[in-house]
Structure 1
Amino acid sequence: MTHSSRLLLTRCVRLSAGLALYGVCMALLLRAGLGADPWTVFTQGIAEKTGWSPGAVLLGVSVVVFALWIPLRQRPGVGTVANALCVGPFLDVALWALPTPHGLPVRALYLLAGVLGIALATGLYVGVGWGPGPRDGLMTGLAHLGLPLAVGRTLVEVSVLAGGWLLGGTVGPGTVLFMATIGPLVGYALPRLTLAPAEPRASR
């Protein structure tokens, strides 16, 4: 197997693992019932109102957000499309498989595992270098229009969090924990999981 083939295989495996882990960790946050990240709260709220599964809602939301990339002139990658199509099904499978925790200590463990796992999953799939997820791309697209990234991220996340809460999504201490820690956690994980092509060997 050539170097390029090995690198392609590694990227595919990491992308798949990252997206699967992301879906599982979203399910952990939902099962914990202590509050989740803004987009998961939004997904949960729409699911409460529509009766759709959270995975189906996430798929629909991802496609809509993906469409918003067009006026923002964002260019999707393979990872972007895979994120939009795959995380929702992984979420539904994980919700089906995971038992509902009873007792605050177990719920807290679900919450901590979900937050840490999402940071790891983000490092895995973004570190492949095939494009961010639809929601992350929306924020970077706003930044390209001149809006500071921190301001754009805050506006988007506060808006979806408020919308999700009004629709019946669960906001709680887990939401605060997620918003306070996910930036530093991803900042730690991403550089360590980013793949870079190896230098080609010089011919002799």
Structure 2
Amino acid sequence: MMSRLRITEIFYSLQGEARSVGWPTVFIRLTGCPLRCSYCDTTYAFQGGEWLSLDEILRQVASYDCRHVCVTGGEPLAQKACAELLTKLCDAGYAVSLETSGALDISVADTRVSRVMDLKTPSSGEVSKNDYTNIEHLQEQDQVKFVIADRADYDWSCAQVSEHDLTSRCEVLYSPVQGKLAPRQLADWILADHLPVRMQVQMHKLLWGDKPGH
């Protein structure tokens, strides 16, 4: 049987987060997620979507004439054929990133992919879902992201960075929850503690707000 995936949307925009921020990027948003984070901004991707073959997905991606491709969700790894899609994208010569939680096995992703793994903070309500064995699979091109809503999240994130020596494995990202934590406050905490982490804000939201497809 031909592999296929349930897709919420495929769209072209600027990458608003992580290492490739600012690059024109094709986003492939897979449908479905086993988590229900309190701060989720893509709840529309929990259900619905359209079944597409991997070949059809690649044809749509190619139509945008863009080097960077981001596979996101929902939780993309919740669909088994996601790993096959990632490999096909890499084989086609794209610079591929994967946005995933820390709840599912990231080792299934092609090692050429830049994996952005979101370790869930306490305020997410899903901290118990983190699979810390994923940390052993992290490589230099990967990134670990902490989405931070308050001081408790910040302190918890710092403890994880220290306990697992994350900055020696890959780049670490701290991001404030929009509307919950002022970006300046997070910046002040990072500077006060001399943390070797990279702060980020969601550039796409500064440009387009919460409009889907951006």
> TM-score w.r.t. structure 1 length?
0.28
More helix, by proportion: 1
With the length of structure 2 as denominator, give the TM-score of the two structures: 0.27
More strand by share: 2
